[in-house]
A and B are shown apart, each in its own frame.
Chain A
Amino acid sequence: MSLEEARALAAAVPDPELPVLTLGDLGIVREVRRDAGGGLEVVITPTYSGCPAMDAIREDIGKALPGARVVTVLAPPWSTDWITDEGRRKLREHGLSPPRRTDGPVALTLGVRCPRCGSPRTRLVSRYGSTACKAMYACQECLEPFDHFKEI
């Protein structure tokens, strides 16, 4: 198997907590390389320090790439800016509000839009949600509650 093929397989593994996204969409797979002995090595980074899905992710990569060694690194720290445009599109499609860019020209004070009706009139319900990476919002236009992928 070429490194290119191995990269594609690792990147296509679905995230266990947000299965609409792949590990590639989330920017969790940092590198796929060969170690000194020629074996495959997949380098991943957690979204949050306490992400409980890391064990499942390691296992799933092992199933997609039998024999590969999975290495976890903390630096550089993961950022929601690493979520791809494709990933952002999928989040919106599934009723999740994608994170705003923290590295671009758009200020973070820009509001969160309702993924259902598109209204900017939304309200933060709680900064913490069903998984570490999400905050709870509610739309004041269509009244729908929704999850927002919070910027980090």
Chain B
Amino acid sequence: MNPLEIGDDCLVLAQRLAEWVTRAPTLEEDVALANLSLDLLGQARALLSRAGNEDELAYLREPGQFRNCLLTEQPNGDFARTIVRHLFYAGFLYEMYRAHPEDEVAAKGVKEIAYHRDYAALWTRRLGLGTEESHRRMTAALDALWPFTGELFAADPGLREPWSAFVETTLAESGLAVPREARQRDGGRRGEHTPHLSELLAEMQALHREHAGATW
């Protein structure tokens, strides 16, 4: 498990999820998404501290120096898009952590991510089986994010099989179809990102860049 790659995944996805705070569809989901974000931020801090100085890595790197996968930097979109992104990513991170029980961040994180996976699967069922509108939005989200799933397994192809089993079972239970094979996109692990990462970092790093070393 590469601490910079997985640490960046967790940091970027934590920032994305935090963007929902005060904007989620209901108060319960506002609280839930903030909690998902917090778990990932804690894991990011532990992993990035292993790769170097956590603050310097988070606040002082340029987009091209980040190693997160493209999936995690994709914008929140509607609630369906956020849920599908989390279904795909938490499904992957759960398998990654489970494959590394000797790693203390993974051994702790797997218990937290098990809840994330359940949360995303539960909402996938609700929205897939909900109304025509929620079903349509879920289908659109699946099609939009599917091209970013291949990159997850570049370092560890063995994780794909259990991930696929989880995703396929969840989608089948939700009345949703697995997207047809689409042209896959990658580059995040090499620092070649979509423009969305620059926007995310501009907001995340603004305070630290303006007031270096500031404390509360």
Contact = CB atoms under 8 A, between A and B. Distances in A.
B115 interface: yes
A71 interface: no
B39 A126 contact: no
A129 B31 contact: yes
B17 to A, nearest CB: 11
B46 interface: yes
Interface string A51-74: 110000000000000000000011
A125 B28 contact: yes
Given A126-B28, A127-B115, A127-B119, A49 B105 contact: yes
Nearest to A77: B108
A128 B104 contact: no
B76 interface: no
Contact of B38 (A52, A79, A126): A52
B149 interface: no
Contacts of B159: none
Given A75-B108, A126-B32, A128-B31, A48 B42 contact: yes
A127 B32 contact: yes
A75 B35 CA distance: 22
Interface residues of B, number: 25
A51 B41 CA distance: 10
Contacts of B173: none
B31 A126 contact: yes
B41 A74 contact: no
A78 B39 CA distance: 14
Contact of B39 (A75, A76, A132): A132
B107 A50 contact: no
The main secondary structure of chain B at its interface with chain A is: helix
A136 interface: yes
A18 interface: no
A56 to B, nearest CB: 12
A109 interface: no
A49 B39 contact: yes
A80 B39 CA distance: 16
Contacts of A126: 28-29, 31-32
B3 interface: no
Nearest to A80: B111
Given A49-B112, A50-B40, A51-B42, A128 B107 contact: no
Contact of A50 (B29, B41, B111, B119): B41
A128 B104 CA distance: 24
B125 to A, nearest CB: 14
A2 interface: no
A145 B45 CA distance: 34
Interface of A: 46, 48-52, 73-79, 125-130, 132, 136, 150, 152
* Complex A-B, nearest 4 residue pairs according to Cβ-Cβ distance, in ascending order: A50-B42, A49-B42, A128-B32, A77-B108
8 contacts: A46-B42, A48-B38, A49-B43, A49-B109, A74-B107, A79-B111, A125-B28, A132-B39
